[in-house]
Amino acid sequence: MSSLERMLGLLDVFTLAAPVWSAEDLIRYSGCSRATCYRYLKVLQASGFLAPVAGGTYVLGPRIIELDRHIRMRDPVYIAGGPPMQKLAARTGHSALLFILFSGTVMCVREELKADAPEGLLSRGERRSLFTGAASKIILAHLPPHQLRSLFAKHRKTIAASGLGSDWPAFRDRLKEIRKDGYCMTVGEYRKGALGIAAPLFNSDGHVLGSLGIATRAQSVKRSEIPNLVQLVTQAGRDATERICSGEHGVDRPARAVS
């Protein structure tokens, strides 16, 4: 790892479970010398990514809040996907979620929650596996073949456990079916009793950026309602893609590589 990677890697340890870290713990975590780690902390504090608190400890800093505001005001996927997502939630009566592909995972970037939202539904800033749930699988299905081969080689057991195939031909064929359908629906994969339906989002080059869909309690949806929900979700995905590609909401976003 480069020095810059090690410095930025210090931010990864700040989580909901561990929001406060001492300088001594950060030194042990980084594996760097005391002088080097203190230099990293000085830079991160000066830039606002870390803030000192009592007892020689640190928390994430206000610069991150400022950058989040910039994203919410200028990110093309966040802005362009908002109105179709809100319309989808209003027309279906179910919670709508917007996801992007992020470094081998998918991240929720926007949500429109309804009263019947399943407990523990993802919210902005939370990530999930690329192999579990409708929002993830519809993105996975549209990744380039070379990325899919790499993912299968690294995550074969996880892929098999997720019902996507125990070998490469089965995995490839299952994703081909999802692509052909134009949507993905799952029940109980990410949250017990939760039903999810998602459609893909693309940039102007046709590369997948993320997904848009609904999540609700499976018991609240009648089987006869599913075709209409699928139609509304896929239309919302097309509307969001058209808005993203129009350039009216910022620069057209490039596809992300998968780690």
70 within domain boundaries:
no
Question: How high is the pLDDT of residue 246?
Answer: 86
Other Cβ atoms within 10 Å of 11 Cβ, number: 13
Residues 53 and 89 in one domain: no
Query: Which residue, among 64, 75, 119, has the nearest Cα to 98 in the 3D structure?
Result: 75
Burial of 28 (0-12, 13-18, 19+ CB in 10 A): exposed
137 within domain boundaries:
yes
Whether residue 20 is predicted with pLDDT greater than 70 in this model: the reply is yes
What is the SS3 assignment for 24?
helix
> Which helix (H) or strand (E) segment is 199 a member of?
strand 194-202
Asked if 212 and 199 touch (Cβ cutoff 8 Å), the reply is yes
Residues 80 and 30 in one domain: no
Cβ partners under 8 Å of residue 241, min gap 6? 200, 201, 202
CATH of the domain at 15: 1.10.10.10
Residues 85 and 160 in one domain: yes
Residues 111 and 170 in one domain: yes
What is the SS3 assignment for 210?
strand
- Residue ranges in the chain assigned as alpha helix (H): 3-9, 23-30, 34-46, 62-74, 76-92, 134-140, 145-154, 156-161, 168-181, 226-246
pLDDT (tens digit, 9 = 90+) per residue, 79-109?
Answer: 999 999 999 999 999 999 999 999 889 999 9
Residues 110 and 53 in one domain: no
Residues 112 and 211 in one domain: yes
Residues 144 and 125 in one domain: yes
Range of the domain at 99: 75-246
Residues 50 and 123 in one domain: no
187 within domain boundaries:
yes
58 within domain boundaries:
yes
pLDDT (tens digit, 9 = 90+) per residue, 206-228?
Answer: 999 999 999 999 999 999 999 99
256 within domain boundaries:
no
pLDDT (tens digit, 9 = 90+) per residue, 26-46?
Answer: 999 998 999 999 999 999 999
Total structural domains within the chain: 2
Query: What is the value of pTM for the model shown?
Result: 0.89
Residues 102 and 202 in one domain: yes
Residues 154 and 50 in one domain: no
* Strand order from edge to edge, sheet including 184-187: 127-129, 105-112, 95-102, 208-217, 194-202, 184-187
Residues 172 and 56 in one domain: no
- Final residue of a structural domain among 44, 65, 86: 65
Burial of 214 (0-12, 13-18, 19+ CB in 10 A): buried
- Final residue of a structural domain among 32, 65, 98: 65
Other Cβ atoms within 10 Å of 209 Cβ, number: 24
| CA-based end-to-end distance of the chain | 15
CATH of the domain at 152: 3.30.450.40
Question: How high is the pLDDT of residue 255?
Answer: 65
What is the SS3 assignment for 136?
helix
Residues 117 and 233 in one domain: yes
